[in-house]
Amino acid sequence: MFFPWCCKPWSAEKAHVDQNTEYVRALPLSSSSSTSFPKAYNFAQDEPPDDLQQAAPSRTLEPVRCMGPTFTPENQEKVRLQMAVRSFVKEAMTGMPVELLEEDSGHVVIATFYLDRTLKRVSLKLPEEHRYYRMQDMIAIFRDKEFTNLVPSLAHLSPRCLAVDFCTERDFRLCFQFQDSDVRDNFYSCLKILRMSLDAGEVEEEEN
């Protein structure tokens, strides 16, 4: 998997985004599904029920097949995404090789993408530094038209790219480029699910 990165100093541009931008706190887990997940589901440790594990998907998120008559389309999608996220988390915990792309110049830097075991911190290990982000500081994910509008210098790569914004004062934007749109959409769905699951866990703690 290949993931380019970009960043620029804090500016008014950060606050100006298209009204159709998919904010991770506000919208469904993906543009094609409103599948919900248990508030306390731990993608790093919890195992799906035995009768659902047979529905484990490929990493390219192909449709689940050979499902029994008791599986509704919503359940199939839920299982498919759960297993995809588990695979994503497993790889990210050991380190995903990534490509980081500077927004203005298009320069590529090889790095490694990590998730910690609590799934609350993201880090990028670059040749000369190690950058850390809190998952709760992730405020928006952009792709397709929104990505093109936000990062016009990379518009020619938009079918394979997405951008993630954090509410930090520096290095607030990460732009990711992938091998193809399927790999991009898998990364998009997994990252968005992890971010929204964190919010769901906080709500549950407040209610208790």
pLDDT tens for 147-171 read: 999 999 999 999 998 899 999 988 8
Distances (CA, A) of 36 to 39, 41, 125, 176: 9, 11, 32, 26
Torsions phi, psi for 146 (to 5 deg): -65, -40
Task: Please name which of 65, 30, 71, 69 lies closest in space to residue 49, comparing C-alpha atoms.
Answer: 71
Distances (CA, A) of 80 to 120, 124, 174, 178: 23, 27, 26, 21
Give the integer Cα–Cα distance in Å for 101 and 154: 9
- Please name the residues in contact with 5: beta carbons below 8 A apart, sequence gap of 6 or more: 98, 99, 100, 101, 102, 109, 111, 124, 174, 175, 176
Domains of the chain by start residue, with CATH: 1-33+71-191 (2.30.29.30)
**Predicted local distance difference test score (pLDDT) of residue 70:** 61
Give the whole-number percent of the chain exceeding pLDDT 90.
38
pTM comes to 0.69
Give the integer Cα–Cα distance in Å for 157 and 160: 6
**Predicted local distance difference test score (pLDDT) of residue 107:** 81
Query: Which residue intervals of the chain are DSSP H helices?
Result: 50-53, 73-94, 144-150, 181-207
Residue 208, pLDDT above cutoff 70: no
**Predicted local distance difference test score (pLDDT) of residue 29:** 35
Distances (CA, A) of 117 to 44, 45, 199, 201: 7, 9, 17, 16
Task: Please name which of 182, 103, 189 lies closest in space to residue 141, comparing C-alpha atoms.
Answer: 189
Query: Which residue intervals of 48-122 are DSSP H helices?
Result: 50-53, 73-94
